[in-house]
Protein backbone atom coordinates (compact mmCIF):
# COMPACT_ATOMS: atom_id res chain seq x y z
CA UNK A 1 0.00 0.00 0.00
CA UNK A 2 3.03 2.24 0.41
CA UNK A 3 6.35 2.12 -1.33
CA UNK A 4 9.40 3.63 0.35
CA UNK A 5 12.53 4.46 -1.61
CA UNK A 6 15.82 6.18 -0.93
CA UNK A 7 17.37 7.72 -4.04
CA UNK A 8 20.13 10.29 -4.13
CA UNK A 9 19.52 11.87 -0.71
CA UNK A 10 15.74 11.79 -1.15
CA UNK A 11 13.33 9.73 0.90
CA UNK A 12 10.34 8.90 -1.31
CA UNK A 13 6.88 7.92 -0.06
CA UNK A 14 4.52 6.62 -2.75
CA UNK A 15 0.93 5.89 -1.74
CA UNK A 16 -0.17 2.78 -3.64
CA UNK A 17 -3.82 2.22 -2.85
CA UNK A 18 -5.41 3.77 -5.95
CA UNK A 19 -8.69 1.79 -5.88
CA UNK A 20 -9.38 3.28 -2.44
CA UNK A 21 -8.20 6.72 -3.62
CA UNK A 22 -5.12 6.17 -1.44
CA UNK A 23 -7.18 6.45 1.74
CA UNK A 24 -5.02 6.00 4.82
CA UNK A 25 -5.56 3.07 7.13
CA UNK A 26 -3.88 2.58 10.50
CA UNK A 27 -1.10 0.42 9.09
CA UNK A 28 -0.19 3.04 6.49
CA UNK A 29 -0.12 5.81 9.08
CA UNK A 30 2.17 3.87 11.38
CA UNK A 31 4.45 2.89 8.49
CA UNK A 32 4.83 6.52 7.35
CA UNK A 33 5.46 7.69 10.90
CA UNK A 34 8.14 5.08 11.55
CA UNK A 35 9.86 5.79 8.24
CA UNK A 36 9.92 9.53 8.93
CA UNK A 37 11.45 8.86 12.34
CA UNK A 38 14.12 6.73 10.66
CA UNK A 39 14.85 9.31 7.96
CA UNK A 40 14.95 12.13 10.50
CA UNK A 41 18.16 10.76 11.96
CA UNK A 42 19.69 9.53 8.71
CA UNK A 43 22.26 12.06 7.51
CA UNK A 44 22.18 10.86 3.90
CA UNK A 45 18.49 11.81 3.55
CA UNK A 46 18.13 15.54 2.95
CA UNK A 47 14.53 15.82 1.79
CA UNK A 48 11.26 13.88 1.59
CA UNK A 49 8.94 13.54 -1.42
CA UNK A 50 5.37 12.32 -0.95
CA UNK A 51 3.45 11.27 -4.06
CA UNK A 52 0.82 8.76 -5.11
CA UNK A 53 -0.50 6.45 -7.79
CA UNK A 54 -3.91 6.87 -9.41
CA UNK A 55 -6.27 9.83 -9.61
CA UNK A 56 -6.02 10.83 -5.96
CA UNK A 57 -3.14 12.03 -3.87
CA UNK A 58 -5.07 10.89 -0.79
CA UNK A 59 -8.82 11.13 -0.27
CA UNK A 60 -8.49 11.00 3.52
CA UNK A 61 -8.54 8.41 6.25
CA UNK A 62 -10.23 5.07 5.71
CA UNK A 63 -13.34 6.19 7.55
CA UNK A 64 -15.43 3.30 6.23
CA UNK A 65 -13.11 0.81 7.92
CA UNK A 66 -13.32 2.75 11.17
CA UNK A 67 -17.11 2.83 11.05
CA UNK A 68 -17.41 -0.88 10.21
CA UNK A 69 -14.87 -1.99 12.82
CA UNK A 70 -15.98 -4.18 15.70
CA UNK A 71 -17.02 -1.88 18.54
CA UNK A 72 -14.90 -3.94 20.92
CA UNK A 73 -11.71 -3.07 19.00
CA UNK A 74 -9.54 -0.04 19.72
CA UNK A 75 -9.42 1.07 16.08
CA UNK A 76 -11.53 4.19 16.56
CA UNK A 77 -9.17 5.46 19.22
CA UNK A 78 -5.89 4.15 17.83
CA UNK A 79 -6.47 5.43 14.28
CA UNK A 80 -6.96 9.06 15.26
CA UNK A 81 -4.28 8.98 17.94
CA UNK A 82 -1.65 7.73 15.48
CA UNK A 83 -2.88 9.99 12.67
CA UNK A 84 -2.55 13.13 14.78
CA UNK A 85 0.89 12.11 16.01
CA UNK A 86 1.92 11.83 12.36
CA UNK A 87 0.42 15.23 11.55
CA UNK A 88 2.37 16.81 14.38
CA UNK A 89 5.59 15.14 13.25
CA UNK A 90 5.16 16.52 9.72
CA UNK A 91 4.41 20.01 11.05
CA UNK A 92 7.69 20.11 12.97
CA UNK A 93 9.81 17.89 10.72
CA UNK A 94 13.37 19.25 10.36
CA UNK A 95 13.84 18.18 6.73
CA UNK A 96 12.07 19.55 3.66
CA UNK A 97 8.85 17.70 2.83
CA UNK A 98 7.43 18.13 -0.67
CA UNK A 99 4.03 16.73 -1.64
CA UNK A 100 2.58 16.41 -5.12
CA UNK A 101 -1.16 17.11 -5.07
CA UNK A 102 -1.94 15.55 -8.44
CA UNK A 103 -5.61 14.76 -7.84
CA UNK A 104 -7.95 14.52 -4.86
CA UNK A 105 -6.64 15.82 -1.53
CA UNK A 106 -9.09 15.57 1.36
CA UNK A 107 -9.18 15.03 5.11
CA UNK A 108 -6.25 12.86 6.14
CA UNK A 109 -4.58 13.58 2.81
CA UNK A 110 -4.44 17.23 3.85
CA UNK A 111 -2.95 16.18 7.18
CA UNK A 112 0.03 14.34 5.69
CA UNK A 113 0.97 17.12 3.27
CA UNK A 114 -0.30 20.61 4.10
CA UNK A 115 2.22 21.10 6.89
CA UNK A 116 5.26 20.27 4.79
CA UNK A 117 7.25 23.10 3.21
CA UNK A 118 6.27 22.46 -0.43
CA UNK A 119 2.81 21.60 -1.81
CA UNK A 120 2.79 21.17 -5.57
CA UNK A 121 -0.51 21.70 -7.36
CA UNK A 122 -1.44 20.39 -10.80
CA UNK A 123 -4.52 21.16 -12.87
CA UNK A 124 -6.03 17.96 -11.41
CA UNK A 125 -5.85 19.15 -7.79
CA UNK A 126 -9.13 19.05 -5.85
CA UNK A 127 -8.79 19.91 -2.17
CA UNK A 128 -11.39 19.93 0.57
CA UNK A 129 -12.41 19.06 4.12
CA UNK A 130 -15.79 17.33 3.67
CA UNK A 131 -16.29 16.00 7.21
CA UNK A 132 -19.58 17.80 7.99
CA UNK A 133 -21.26 15.58 5.37
CA UNK A 134 -20.63 12.46 7.47
CA UNK A 135 -21.32 13.71 10.98
CA UNK A 136 -17.69 14.46 11.80
CA UNK A 137 -15.51 17.59 12.10
CA UNK A 138 -12.60 19.06 10.11
CA UNK A 139 -9.66 17.48 11.91
CA UNK A 140 -5.92 16.66 11.35
CA UNK A 141 -5.14 20.09 12.77
CA UNK A 142 -6.88 21.86 9.90
CA UNK A 143 -8.61 24.22 12.35
CA UNK A 144 -5.19 25.77 13.05
CA UNK A 145 -4.83 26.83 9.39
CA UNK A 146 -8.46 27.41 8.42
CA UNK A 147 -9.35 29.53 11.47
CA UNK A 148 -6.52 31.90 10.59
CA UNK A 149 -7.41 32.42 6.93
CA UNK A 150 -8.48 35.89 5.87
CA UNK A 151 -12.08 36.94 5.23
CA UNK A 152 -13.62 33.93 7.04
CA UNK A 153 -12.85 31.74 4.02
CA UNK A 154 -11.44 28.99 6.25
CA UNK A 155 -14.62 28.70 8.27
CA UNK A 156 -16.64 28.61 5.04
CA UNK A 157 -14.46 25.74 3.79
CA UNK A 158 -14.73 23.83 7.06
CA UNK A 159 -18.53 24.13 7.22
CA UNK A 160 -19.47 23.58 3.59
CA UNK A 161 -16.78 21.09 2.58
CA UNK A 162 -16.36 23.15 -0.60
CA UNK A 163 -13.86 21.45 -2.92
CA UNK A 164 -11.22 23.85 -4.19
CA UNK A 165 -9.91 23.53 -7.73
CA UNK A 166 -6.24 24.03 -8.56
CA UNK A 167 -6.48 27.78 -9.09
CA UNK A 168 -8.40 28.32 -5.85
CA UNK A 169 -5.95 26.14 -3.92
CA UNK A 170 -3.09 28.25 -5.25
CA UNK A 171 -4.85 31.58 -4.85
CA UNK A 172 -5.66 30.83 -1.19
CA UNK A 173 -2.00 29.86 -0.63
CA UNK A 174 -2.79 26.33 0.52
CA UNK A 175 -0.50 25.09 -2.24
CA UNK A 176 2.58 27.06 -3.19
CA UNK A 177 3.78 25.71 -6.56
CA UNK A 178 2.02 24.84 -9.82
CA UNK A 179 3.29 22.25 -12.30
CA UNK A 180 1.23 20.80 -15.13
CA UNK A 181 0.37 17.13 -14.79
CA UNK A 182 2.19 16.28 -18.02
CA UNK A 183 5.41 17.71 -16.55
CA UNK A 184 5.29 16.00 -13.15
CA UNK A 185 7.34 12.93 -14.10
CA UNK A 186 10.11 15.09 -15.50
CA UNK A 187 10.04 17.23 -12.39
CA UNK A 188 10.28 14.16 -10.14
CA UNK A 189 13.31 12.88 -12.02
CA UNK A 190 15.12 16.21 -11.95
CA UNK A 191 14.19 16.88 -8.31
CA UNK A 192 15.41 13.46 -7.16
CA UNK A 193 18.40 12.76 -9.39
CA UNK A 194 19.72 16.23 -10.14
CA UNK A 195 18.56 18.15 -7.04
CA UNK A 196 16.73 20.56 -9.32
CA UNK A 197 14.71 23.29 -7.60
CA UNK A 198 10.92 23.36 -7.82
CA UNK A 199 11.10 26.94 -9.09
CA UNK A 200 12.87 25.72 -12.23
CA UNK A 201 9.82 23.59 -13.13
CA UNK A 202 6.93 25.89 -12.31
CA UNK A 203 4.31 26.53 -14.97
CA UNK A 204 2.10 29.55 -15.41
CA UNK A 205 -1.25 28.97 -13.74
CA UNK A 206 -4.33 30.08 -15.64
CA UNK A 207 -7.05 31.90 -13.74
CA UNK A 208 -10.33 29.98 -13.70
CA UNK A 209 -13.88 30.82 -12.74
CA UNK A 210 -14.22 30.57 -8.96
CA UNK A 211 -17.42 30.69 -6.94
CA UNK A 212 -15.49 31.15 -3.72
CA UNK A 213 -13.21 33.95 -4.93
CA UNK A 214 -15.98 35.77 -6.79
CA UNK A 215 -18.07 35.77 -3.60
CA UNK A 216 -15.30 36.47 -1.10
CA UNK A 217 -17.00 39.61 0.20
CA UNK A 218 -20.23 37.72 0.83
CA UNK A 219 -18.31 34.96 2.62
CA UNK A 220 -16.59 37.54 4.81
CA UNK A 221 -19.93 39.17 5.58
CA UNK A 222 -21.94 36.05 6.41
CA UNK A 223 -19.29 33.80 7.99
CA UNK A 224 -17.71 36.35 10.32
CA UNK A 225 -19.41 34.78 13.36
CA UNK A 226 -18.22 31.54 14.94
CA UNK A 227 -21.85 30.65 15.61
CA UNK A 228 -23.82 28.52 13.15
CA UNK A 229 -27.17 29.96 14.20
CA UNK A 230 -25.91 33.48 13.52
CA UNK A 231 -24.45 32.37 10.18
CA UNK A 232 -27.79 30.96 9.04
CA UNK A 233 -29.55 34.11 10.24
CA UNK A 234 -27.12 36.27 8.29
CA UNK A 235 -27.41 34.18 5.11
CA UNK A 236 -31.21 34.29 5.24
CA UNK A 237 -31.18 38.07 5.57
CA UNK A 238 -29.85 38.51 2.03
CA UNK A 239 -31.46 36.95 -1.01
CA UNK A 240 -29.11 36.15 -3.88
CA UNK A 241 -27.92 33.09 -5.74
CA UNK A 242 -24.86 32.61 -3.52
CA UNK A 243 -26.67 32.82 -0.18
CA UNK A 244 -29.53 30.63 -1.43
CA UNK A 245 -27.11 28.02 -2.73
CA UNK A 246 -25.09 28.10 0.49
CA UNK A 247 -28.17 27.67 2.67
CA UNK A 248 -29.42 24.75 0.58
CA UNK A 249 -26.02 23.14 0.87
CA UNK A 250 -25.61 23.64 4.62
CA UNK A 251 -29.05 22.31 5.57
CA UNK A 252 -28.00 18.90 4.27
CA UNK A 253 -24.87 18.78 6.45
CA UNK A 254 -24.85 17.40 9.98
CA UNK A 255 -26.13 20.17 12.30
CA UNK A 256 -23.96 19.06 15.22
CA UNK A 257 -20.90 19.01 12.96
CA UNK A 258 -21.66 22.55 11.78
CA UNK A 259 -22.17 23.95 15.27
CA UNK A 260 -19.11 22.23 16.69
CA UNK A 261 -16.90 23.28 13.77
CA UNK A 262 -17.73 26.92 14.47
CA UNK A 263 -16.87 26.63 18.14
CA UNK A 264 -13.69 24.61 17.66
CA UNK A 265 -12.43 27.07 15.04
CA UNK A 266 -13.06 29.90 17.50
CA UNK A 267 -10.96 28.05 20.09
CA UNK A 268 -8.31 27.16 17.52
CA UNK A 269 -7.45 30.83 16.93
CA UNK A 270 -5.95 30.91 20.42
CA UNK A 271 -4.21 27.51 20.31
CA UNK A 272 -0.91 26.33 18.87
CA UNK A 273 -0.80 23.50 16.37
CA UNK A 274 -0.16 20.73 18.89
CA UNK A 275 -3.05 21.95 21.03
CA UNK A 276 -5.33 21.92 17.98
CA UNK A 277 -4.47 18.27 17.47
CA UNK A 278 -5.19 17.52 21.13
CA UNK A 279 -8.57 19.22 20.71
CA UNK A 280 -9.18 17.22 17.51
CA UNK A 281 -8.53 13.96 19.35
CA UNK A 282 -10.79 14.84 22.25
CA UNK A 283 -13.65 15.88 19.95
CA UNK A 284 -13.10 13.01 17.51
CA UNK A 285 -13.70 10.49 20.26
CA UNK A 286 -16.99 12.20 21.11
CA UNK A 287 -18.16 12.49 17.52
CA UNK A 288 -17.42 8.93 16.42
CA UNK A 289 -19.60 7.55 19.19
CA UNK A 290 -22.64 9.43 17.92
CA UNK A 291 -25.30 7.87 15.69
CA UNK A 292 -24.81 10.80 13.30
CA UNK A 293 -21.31 9.56 12.49
CA UNK A 294 -22.37 5.96 11.92
CA UNK A 295 -25.38 7.03 9.85
CA UNK A 296 -23.41 9.63 7.90
CA UNK A 297 -20.62 7.25 6.93
CA UNK A 298 -23.10 4.51 6.04
CA UNK A 299 -25.31 6.70 3.87
CA UNK A 300 -22.69 8.92 2.22
CA UNK A 301 -19.62 6.70 1.88
CA UNK A 302 -21.10 3.21 1.75
CA UNK A 303 -24.61 3.56 0.28
CA UNK A 304 -23.58 6.64 -1.76
CA UNK A 305 -26.76 8.53 -0.83
CA UNK A 306 -27.38 12.03 0.46
CA UNK A 307 -30.48 11.64 2.59
CA UNK A 308 -28.91 11.10 6.00
CA UNK A 309 -31.22 11.64 8.96
CA UNK A 310 -29.47 13.76 11.58
CA UNK A 311 -30.26 14.10 15.27
CA UNK A 312 -30.87 16.90 15.99
CA UNK A 313 -32.23 17.57 12.52
CA UNK A 314 -31.52 21.32 12.41
CA UNK A 315 -29.30 23.96 13.94
CA UNK A 316 -32.17 25.69 15.77
CA UNK A 317 -31.11 26.17 19.40
CA UNK A 318 -28.27 23.74 18.79
CA UNK A 319 -25.64 25.71 20.69
CA UNK A 320 -27.31 24.77 23.97
CA UNK A 321 -27.05 21.11 22.99
CA UNK A 322 -23.32 21.16 22.24
CA UNK A 323 -22.08 23.37 25.05
CA UNK A 324 -20.87 20.35 27.03
CA UNK A 325 -18.58 19.42 24.11
CA UNK A 326 -16.60 22.63 24.53
CA UNK A 327 -16.22 22.85 28.29
CA UNK A 328 -12.80 21.15 28.31
CA UNK A 329 -9.60 22.87 29.42
CA UNK A 330 -7.00 22.20 26.73
CA UNK A 331 -4.30 21.96 29.40
CA UNK A 332 -6.16 19.25 31.28
CA UNK A 333 -6.72 16.85 28.39
CA UNK A 334 -4.91 13.52 28.39
CA UNK A 335 -2.12 14.49 26.03
CA UNK A 336 -1.58 12.16 23.07
CA UNK A 337 1.34 14.15 21.65
CA UNK A 338 4.55 14.72 23.54
CA UNK A 339 5.67 18.32 23.80
CA UNK A 340 8.54 19.06 21.45
Q: 3-state SS string over the chain?
A: CEEEEEECCEEEEEECCHHHCCCECHHHHHHHHHHHHHHHCCCCCCEEEEEECCCEEECCECHHHHHHCCCCCCHHHHHHHHHHHHHHHHHCCCCEEEEEECCEEECHHHHCCCCCCEEEECCCCEEECCHHHHCCCCCCCHHHHHCCCHHHHHHHHHHHCCCECHHHHHHCCCCCEECCHHHHHHHHHHHHHCCCCHHHHCCCCCCCCCHHHHCHHHHHHHCCCCCHHHHHHHHHCCCCHHHHHHHHHHCCCCHHHHHHHHHHHHHHCCCCHHHHHHHHHHHHHHHCCCHHHHHHHHHHHHCCCCCCCCCCCCCCCHHHHHHHHHCCCHHHCCCCCCCC
Sign of the C-alpha dihedral, residues 131, 269, 114, 330? negative
Active-site residue numbers? 61, 108, 131, 139
Amino acid sequence: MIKFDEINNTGIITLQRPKALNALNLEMIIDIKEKLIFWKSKDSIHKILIKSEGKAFCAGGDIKAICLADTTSNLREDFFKEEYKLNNMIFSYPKIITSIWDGIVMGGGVGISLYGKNRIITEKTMLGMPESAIGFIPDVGSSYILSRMEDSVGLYLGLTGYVLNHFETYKLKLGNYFILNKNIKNFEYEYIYNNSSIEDHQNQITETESNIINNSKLIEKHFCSFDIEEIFKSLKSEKNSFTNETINHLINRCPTSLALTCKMFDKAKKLNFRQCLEMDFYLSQLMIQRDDFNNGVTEVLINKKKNTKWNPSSTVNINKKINNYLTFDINELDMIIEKQ
